[in-house]
């Protein structure tokens, strides 16, 4: 998947009067707390270790607070299937809403329990709610299955006696602004966040973007002024809070090194910090543990098999949505709960739209078909793209562009070595595409390459399809994509024979001590491999549904 650097819930009163059958359901959890669950989920000890590593990264005298993701509404009284915040899941394994995690640098006494370094507040068991939307862990289930040191009902968060005023720093992530206030739940996320803001004395005008800008000045204000000042100026033009911040504006007004030194030294003092957690989690999540790699490997292999099966089944008279469904059927068949992101299945001109998701072209015909699809297995997302000719054979023009992208990808692979800068695969791939487009006469000058290759070649992969990381030198254990592409929409300033050709080839790469491993290698890549796979019979060839009239 291409990557570029960087209303209130209805009152339940009336619904209850209607007999309960219309009662607005809360979001269903990602996975139920019931029996017969998968046996290859991350262990409680994995999450415990992650929490401890984050706690160690906290400054002395500090506390860290993380909230579960909000329940999000799809339409009227129907919510989207709940998806936990990846950071919250990473640290707890908890997949339900209306929860908060607190990590203490030094042990505290909470609700009479001494020596507490971690506290999780969760939604309670509720027989009626569970009848409608599925089982809940509750406090006892969370204690047993998640093995946190201190677990309590979320209604106890507001009066837990956490000594907020005593902490030198309070670390938290950007607070959710789309949490709805359920009048029937005094401890929903809306109220949990409100209680935190009040007790931790978070200023009403606290802005994470301003805090980040101030942090950038602290880190790079002297050594990187030539790049930082133009960047902050652009932010000031689009974000009023940054434009109004005296510290940022003083830095932008500094003309000499001495003036910049004076500004940097006078950073406003604040106990509230949104950078500590971001930095700690980016560093941790960048390098995967063996347990995480096993889940990623499974997600990627499922996605690669999906590409194989769709190649065998594709015919020019099939529609984009039908082919999307075949990918996603394979995912479900192998136990992948979700797609890691909305499937991109675009033919012809649609293949030239980077994040095309309508997928409603009724026949793909003989245009190149770009399929950027990834299974999400136990939270971990794959990201695999293949581009195929629905007729089974590439035309000469299609083949030229395809093989140029393939050569660029091979160059990107070769740059996937521990210690190389993160941008090394992109630079290698971009050079090949630049030289190739110049040779084909599609561009006249090297700088025009971004017209047809507008995105980065790589991003991290994990619990998010665009996973956080440091974007420093490549490290063994990191999983990244390598996904060069060329997109030539109709009307482009080149020969018409190239119009509506869109090609992207994307693989998921594990950085190893020796170099790299292509986790998605089972999905055919070369022209010969793709054409050979498409010539094979499909299990769906004889699958006929009745015609709807």
* Distance in angstroms (rounded) separating the CA atoms of residues 327 and 72: 26
* Distance in angstroms (rounded) separating the CA atoms of residues 373 and 342: 8
CA 308, chain centre distance (Å): 25
- For residue 507, what are the β-bridge partners? 482
Determine which one of 355, 421, 450, 495 is catalytic: 355
- Asked if residues 430 and 404 have their Cβ atoms less than 8 Å apart, the reply is no
* Distance in angstroms (rounded) separating the CA atoms of residues 241 and 248: 10
Determine which one of 79, 118, 286, 383 is catalytic: 383
CA 173, chain centre distance (Å): 16
Determine which one of 452, 460, 487, 516 is catalytic: 487
- On the CB side of 213, how many CA atoms lie within 13 Å of its CA? 27
Straight-line distance from the first to the last Cα atom of the chain, in angstroms, rounded to the nearest whole number: 37
CA distances from 548 to 320, 326, 329, 498, 545 (A): 19, 20, 21, 38, 9
CA distances from 342 to 87, 355, 381 (A): 21, 9, 12
* Distance in angstroms (rounded) separating the CA atoms of residues 328 and 174: 33
Determine which one of 52, 77, 291, 403 is catalytic: 77
Verify whether residue 372 is a known catalytic residue. Answer: yes
Determine which one of 309, 339, 372, 507 is catalytic: 372
Verify whether residue 483 is a known catalytic residue. Answer: yes
Determine which one of 426, 466, 507, 508 is catalytic: 466
Structure tokens that stand for 409 in this block: 């990808």
* Distance in angstroms (rounded) separating the CA atoms of residues 253 and 431: 38
Query: Residue 97's closest CA among 198, 199, 177, 187?
Result: 187
Verify whether residue 327 is a known catalytic residue. Answer: no
* Distance in angstroms (rounded) separating the CA atoms of residues 238 and 252: 15
| Residue 539 neighbours by CB under 8 Å, 6+ apart | 309, 312, 313
Query: Residue 97's closest CA among 24, 172, 29?
Result: 29
DSSP-based three-state secondary structure for 330? helix
Verify whether residue 455 is a known catalytic residue. Answer: yes
Structure tokens that stand for 115 in this block: 């020596």
* Distance in angstroms (rounded) separating the CA atoms of residues 311 and 538: 9
Determine which one of 50, 298, 386, 504 is catalytic: 504
Verify whether residue 96 is a known catalytic residue. Answer: no
| Residue 12 neighbours by CB under 8 Å, 6+ apart | 23, 24, 183, 184
Verify whether residue 355 is a known catalytic residue. Answer: yes
- Asked if residues 15 and 24 have their Cβ atoms less than 8 Å apart, the reply is yes
Verify whether residue 329 is a known catalytic residue. Answer: no
CA 24, chain centre distance (Å): 28
Is the CA virtual torsion 370, 376, 382, 383 positive or negative?
positive
Verify whether residue 504 is a known catalytic residue. Answer: yes
**DSSP conformation class of 329:** H
Determine which one of 96, 278, 506, 507 is catalytic: 506
Verify whether residue 459 is a known catalytic residue. Answer: yes
Determine which one of 87, 459, 467, 507 is catalytic: 459
Please give the positions annotated as active site: 77, 355, 372, 383, 455, 459, 466, 483, 487, 504, 506
């Amino acid at each position: 998947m291409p990557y570029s650097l960087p209303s209130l819930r209805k009152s339940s009163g009336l619904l209850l009067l209607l007999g309960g059958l219309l009662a607005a359901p809360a979001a269903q959890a990602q996975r139920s707390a019931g029996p017969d669950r998968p046996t290859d989920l991350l262990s409680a000890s994995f999450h415990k270790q992650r929490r401890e590593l984050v706690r160690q990264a906290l400054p002395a005298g500090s506390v860290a607070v993380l909230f579960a993701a909000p329940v999000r509404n799809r339409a009227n009284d129907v919510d989207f299937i709940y998806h936990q915040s990846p950071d919250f899941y990473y640290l707890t394994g908890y997949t339900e809403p209306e929860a908060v995690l607190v990590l203490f640098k030094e042990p505290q006494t909470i609700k009479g329990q001494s020596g507490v370094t971690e506290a999780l507040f969760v939604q309670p068991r509720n027989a009626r709610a569970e009848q409608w939307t599925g089982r809940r862990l509750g406090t006892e289930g969370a204690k047993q299955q998640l093995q946190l040191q201190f677990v309590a009902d979320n209604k106890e968060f507001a009066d837990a006696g956490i000594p907020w005023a005593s902490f030198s720093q309070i670390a938290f992530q950007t607070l959710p602004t789309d949490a709805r206030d359920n009048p029937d739940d005094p401890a929903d996320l809306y109220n949990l966040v409100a209680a935190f803001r009040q007790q931790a004395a978070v200023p009403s005008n606290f802005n994470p973007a301003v805090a980040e800008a101030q942090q950038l000045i602290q880190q790079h204000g002297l050594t990187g002024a030539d790049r930082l000042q133009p960047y902050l100026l652009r932010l000031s033009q689009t974000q009023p809070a940054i434009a109004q911040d005296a510290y940022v504006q003083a830095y932008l007004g500094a003309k000499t090194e001495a003036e910049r030194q004076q500004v940097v030294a006078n950073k406003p003092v604040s106990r509230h910090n949104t950078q500590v957690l971001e930095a700690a989690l980016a560093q941790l999540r960048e390098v995967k543990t063996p347990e995480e790699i096993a889940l990623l490997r499974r997600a990627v292999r499922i996605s690669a098999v999906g590409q194989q099966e769709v190649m065998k089944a594709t015919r020019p008279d099939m529609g984009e949505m039908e082919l999307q469904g075949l990918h996603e059927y394979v995912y479900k068949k192998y136990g992948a709960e979700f797609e890691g992101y909305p499937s991109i299945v675009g033919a012809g001109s649609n293949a030239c739209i980077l994040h095309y998701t309508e997928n409603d072209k009724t026949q793909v015909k003989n245009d190149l078909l770009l399929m950027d699809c990834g299974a999400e297995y136990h939270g971990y997302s794959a990201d695999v793209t293949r581009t195929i000719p629905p007729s089974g054979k590439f035309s000469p023009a299609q083949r030229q562009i395809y093989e140029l992208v393939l050569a660029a990808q091979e160059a990107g692979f070769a740059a996937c070595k521990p210690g190389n800068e993160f941008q090394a695969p992109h630079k290698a791939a971009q050079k090949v595409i630049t030289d190739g487009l110049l040779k084909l006469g599609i561009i006249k000058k090297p700088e025009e390459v971004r017209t047809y290759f507008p995105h980065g070649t790589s991003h991290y992969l994990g619990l998010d399809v665009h996973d956080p990381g440091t974007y420093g030198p490549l490290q063994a254990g990191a999983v990244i994509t390598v996904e060069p592409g060329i997109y030539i929409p109709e009307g482009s300033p080149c020969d018409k024979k190239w119009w509506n050709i869109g090609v992207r080839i994307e693989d998921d790469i594990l950085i190893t001590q020796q170099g790299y491993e292509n986790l998605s290698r089972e999905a055919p890549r070369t022209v010969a491999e793709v054409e050979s796979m498409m010539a094979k019979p499909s299990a769906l060839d004889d699958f006929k549904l009745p015609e709807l009239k």
